[in-house]
């Protein structure tokens, strides 16, 4: 969702630079009811809270990718490899979708991820 918002802002800037009419001018005016406004605000606040819980490197990688940067630029900015930058973006998106950032997960044998509440894996 954050990526979509960033893309929309970028696209609106491109449209304005080209002199195209904003899309909102083409749509009929619609006002939101109080329940819709409240639901939208709650959703936005929950997304901001999730975003704030992301580890800093994932958050920064996701923001840069949302702004249209390629993985090489993200990698240079973070001091990582392009493959690692791609993985950071992927993990950030997964964390946002799940609503629970990766802090509650740990590595187990075989490279699988497991919640800290799962039983430990023995040899």
Label residue 104 by pLDDT band (50, 70, 90). very low
Cβ proximity of 116 and 104 under 8 Å: yes
Q: Which two tokens stand for residue 44?
A: 């936005």
Partner residues linked to 113 by β-bridges:
107
Instruction: Please spell the DSSP secondary structure of 18-61, one letter per residue.
Output: HTPPPHHHHSPP-PPPHHHHHHHHHHHHHHHHHHHHS-HHHHHH
Query: 2-20+39-115, what's its fold?
Result: Arc Repressor Mutant, subunit A (1.10.10)
Label residue 2 by pLDDT band (50, 70, 90). confident
> For residues 11 and 55, what is the distance between their CA atoms, to the nearest angstrom?
28
Domain boundaries, the chain: 2-20+39-115
Query: Each residue of 38-90: pLDDT tens digit?
Result: 888 988 898 888 889 999 999 999 999 999 999 999 999 999 999 999 999 99
């Amino acid at each position: 969702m954050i990526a979509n918002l960033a893309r929309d802002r970028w696209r609106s800037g491109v449209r304005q630079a080209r002199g195209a009419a904003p899309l909102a001018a083409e749509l009929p005016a619609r006002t939101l009811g109080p329940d819709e406004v409240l639901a939208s605000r709650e959703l936005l606040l929950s997304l901001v809270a999730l975003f704030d819980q992301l580890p800093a490197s994932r958050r920064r990688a996701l923001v840069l990718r949302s702004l249209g940067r390629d993985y090489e630029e993200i990698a240079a900015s973070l001091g990582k490899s392009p493959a690692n930058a791609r993985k950071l973006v992927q993990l950030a998106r997964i964390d946002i979708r799940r609503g629970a950032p990766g802090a509650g997960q740990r590595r187990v044998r075989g490279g699988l991820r497991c919640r800290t509440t799962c039983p430990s894996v023995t040899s």
